[in-house]
Amino acid sequence: MTKRQRRLLLIVCAPLLLLVALALVLAALTLSFSPLVSTGGALTDAEVRQVEQWIVDNSPSRFEEQGARDLSLTDEQLNLLSAFALSNIPQLHAISIDFDINGSQADARMSIPRDLGPLTVYLNLRARFAQDKGRARLIELHAGRLTVPRPVMRSAEQIAGYRLAYASTASQELAQVRHSVVSYELSDDMLLLRLEWEPEVLLQLRSQAQQIFVSEEDRKRIIAYHSLINIIAQDAITQRRQVPLHAFIPALYKLAAERSGQPGADAASENRSLLQALSFFVNDLPITQLLGKREGEVLPDNPSMIVMLYQRHDLSRHFVSAAAIAASAGVGIAEVLSNSKEVHDARYGTGFSFSDMTANVAGVTLGETTTADHSTALFMQQKLMKSHSESDYMPEPRTDSDGINEENFIARFGDRTSTVYLNRLQEIEHSVRALPLYKKEETETENTGAF
């Protein structure tokens, strides 16, 4: 190679080498081989109960009237809610975070793992918040040993807000909720939030936020099950308006089995979409709330009918809703939302119901089992398409402790950590797990033999 060629090669490669060197320097400054925040492990039953109680005490269903609402969170509550959210969102399982609020300042630490071949490295973030011009603001941000300049922080905040406001319809609804938080302050070791509550914002969020997690393939699957539900419902309503849930279950799972036999199909995804479509039907919600509307697309409206489970409409709603949430968002979220609903009913509604709890537990079990993995999902399809009655997937509930208000609940069961209450829950769980459909050893044996 001549001297001139070497000089040209150096001119061409120098910028690339400079970029590689810069990337290596940034990685060395920002990444670490150990986490700043260790994962806390699974939440205890007592911690889960605290999350449920917080949901009940701050339930949006209590905020139906427009006006300002104040919420306050200690760092302990903030850490607990964050741990619950991270542990129940599959994509965030490995992330750990903690908060420390001290007077009118707060420190946040987060560790995000990344696998680089056989090695695991961590992006460790440290942030400090403080009162600034009447509200809590980010004043410091560190990525590993690198301090992020304040202009960069402010630009990132503005870009994030702009993209949220001008992105998809669902994201715009989330932006509206963000703007309803009119103030957030740090004071007296607490994070204080004030929401300018408008009920229509919640309604919009309910109808749009669900679309975030529905992929194009999910959409096609949901439409297939929605169409079959419509055919069954149209035929049934000519004879009666009250229809048992079991009029739909075998046919839907037969379709799921047929679709799962197609090349590249995933049985767990088919079962999840089936439960989502069935949940919207049982709860008498238009499918467009889940799928959105597309120009030129016509989705049939299901006839309004009452779907019964053990001769009760509320049980079918509890059962199918719990199954759909467990299949879509995970068992942890499904259990907490179901339990919170019963505690809310005891305090503000029709009363606590162990019948509803039985439907919740059976629904969560169905949703979890039918979407566990491809082979188990195939096995469950075969069992459910051949099921004879509702007792195959939910035991008949006891009704001796239904409609209990909070005062009577405390008199009979104490609180939800008492032995008598936990024994009753265990009894319900055992009755569900005792059904042949859910017996683990039978599932594993037949599954292995059949597939």
Per-residue pLDDT of 364-410, as tens digits, reads: 999 999 999 999 999 999 999 999 999 999 999 987 777 777 788 88
412 residue type, one letter: R
Is residue 319 within 8 Å of residue 249, measured between CB atoms?
no
Average pLDDT of the chain, as a whole number? 78
Pick the residue with more confidence: 381 or 353?
381
Give the Cα-Cα-Cα angle 307, 308, 314 (nearest 5 degrees). 95
User: Hey, how many other C-beta atoms are within 10 angstroms of the C-beta on 22?
Assistant: 10
Q: Is the pLDDT of residue 310 over 50?
A: yes
pLDDT of 174 reads 45
Is residue 82 within 8 Å of residue 97, measured between CB atoms?
yes
Task: Indicate whether this model's pTM tops 0.85.
Answer: no
DSSP β-ladder status, 135-143 and 119-132: antiparallel
What letters, b where the CB count within 10 A reaches 16 and e where it falls short, cover 402-423?
eebbeeebeeebeebeeeebee
For residue 313 the two structure tokens come to: 């409409």
Q: Is the pLDDT of residue 27 over 80?
A: no
Beta carbons within 8 Å of 60's beta carbon, 6+ residues apart: 202
How does pLDDT run across 281-303, given as a tens digit for each residue?
Answer: 998 888 887 787 788 888 888 88
| Rounded-to-integer distance, Cα 96 and Cα 41, Å | 10
How does pLDDT run across 71-124, given as a tens digit for each residue?
Answer: 788 888 888 888 877 776 666 678 888 999 998 899 999 888 888 788 888 888
Is residue 35 within 8 Å of residue 122, measured between CB atoms?
yes
pLDDT of 134 reads 75
| Rounded-to-integer distance, Cα 243 and Cα 434, Å | 27
What letters, b where the CB count within 10 A reaches 16 and e where it falls short, cover 377-394?
bbbbbbbbbeeeebebbb
Beta carbons within 8 Å of 200's beta carbon, 6+ residues apart: none
pLDDT of 444 reads 47
Question: What is the separation of C-alpha 279 from the centre of its chain, rounded to a whole number of angstroms?
Answer: 15
